[in-house]
Structures are given as C-alpha cells and as structure tokens.
Amino acid sequence: MKQIDFIKEIDKIKYIQRKTKLFNSNRPENDAEHSWHLAMMTIVLAQYSDTPIDVLKVLKMVLIHDIVEIDAGDTFIYDTEKNHNNTTEELAAAKRIFGLLPSTQAEELIALWLEFEEGKTNEAKFAKSMDRLEPLLQNISNNGGTWSEFGVDYQKVYDKKKAIKEGSSTLWNYAENLLNESVKNGILRKLD
C-alpha cells in the first residue's frame, strides 16, 4: 500500500525545528506541532474568514504545508538572503514526497500545496493567516521571541503579518492591536 510509505516518510517532519519557540518556552517548535496547531486554529477561527471557505480544504493545506521542509529545510520568515517563497528546492521536495502516494492523491496534494504557496484563493489566504498568527502569539508569550532574538523591527514584522488581513479583517484588527501593544511593552522595537 503506497500510502503507508508516505505515512512513514512524513514522520521526518517531527525533526524539522522552527525558529519560533512554544508558548512561554525556550523549546523550538517542530513542524508537526506547528501544523497541528494551525489546524486547531482553523477549526476554532474559521468563522472569522472574510469570505466563505471550505474548511476541509484549509485543514488539508495547513496540515501539509510544511511537508516539503523534510527535504528543503525550514526557512526563517525574516531571512534576508533566502526567499521564503516557493523555491525550486521545495517544488522538487513536493514532487518527491507527495509522489510516494498513488498518482491521483499525489496530484491532489501537490496542487493543494501550490495553491497554498500562491496564496490567491480564499482557502489559501485563510491558511496563510493562520500561519502568520501562531508565531505572533508565540513571540508575544516569549517576551518578543524571535523578534528580539534576531533583532527584527516593527516594520518588518508588520509587513509579514499584514497577510493576516487577506484572510480575515477581524483577526487582522486583533493582530494589529497586539503589534501596537508589543511596541508599547518594549518587546517589539519601532525604528524612528
């Protein structure tokens, strides 16, 4: 059964560490934990999408979105040298890993991953909102977290986080307030 080979292979995602730490913690989050958390956020926050969304599709997207990192590794969102977007390396990874599945399933999941990466459909926009919101909440719980650790200033954070607005104006209002509070609390630095 081809699916079993895939199921075994994707276990490796549990070893891919993100830069962001767990809530109130110094322990880096791994991609399996991150993907689970985005799925849970999707379940409880879907009602705030600005447009009707197919929740099953969003769940599949957030569950699979980082599987390519098994081959391509995690790229830090504020990395200035490497672009976070859909690299050749990630596309090859998608083809190899999803390609372990029977062809119809492989095609479906590669297409879904590409749709997420392109971020144009309502589902992809909402999935990306989740992907931006989780580390924001984590960093705040960790006194600035990766923002402090890597000296990322307000404007750079704002530019990445505004993707939340594409999925949900309610969540964006919430997130924008958190960013402003973070500046006031001194855990996010605003350059003059």
Instruction: Give the interface with a second copy as residue ranges (CB under 8 A).
Output: 1, 3-4, 6-8, 10-11, 13-14, 22-23, 29-30, 32-33, 35-37, 39-41, 43-45, 55-56, 59-60, 63-64, 101, 105, 109, 134, 137, 141, 174
Quote the CA–CA distance of 115 and 7 in Å, as a whole number.
22
Q: How far is the CB of 80 from a second copy (least distance, A)?
A: 29
Give the CA distances from residue 139 to residues 1, 30, 44, 86, 178, in Å, rounded to whole numbers and listed in that order: 41, 15, 21, 25, 11
Per DSSP, the three-state class of 101 is coil
Q: Are 93 and 70 in contact (CB under 8 A)?
A: yes
Which residue, 57 or 156, has its beta carbon nearer to a second copy?
57
3-state helix, strand, coil in the chain (%, to 5): 65, 5, 30
Q: How far is the CB of 45 from a second copy (least distance, A)?
A: 6
Which residue, 42 or 152, has its beta carbon nearer to a second copy?
42
Which residue, 50 or 153, has its beta carbon nearer to a second copy?
50
Give the CA count within 13 Å in the CB-facing half-sphere of 69.
22
Q: How far is the CB of 74 from a second copy (least distance, A)?
A: 16
**Long-range contacts of range 33-37, CB-CB < 8 Å, 24 or more positions apart?**
34/66, 34/134, 35/62, 35/63, 35/64, 35/65, 35/66, 37/134
Q: How far is the CB of 129 from a second copy (least distance, A)?
A: 13
**DSSP per residue, 117-143:** HHT-SHHHHHHHHHHHHHHHHHHHHTT
Q: How far is the CB of 105 from a second copy (least distance, A)?
A: 6
Which residue, 76 or 174, has its beta carbon nearer to a second copy?
174
If residue 150 lies in a helix (H) or strand (E), which one and from where to where? none
Q: How far is the CB of 41 from a second copy (least distance, A)?
A: 6
Which residue, 48 or 153, has its beta carbon nearer to a second copy?
48
Which residue, 29 or 166, has its beta carbon nearer to a second copy?
29
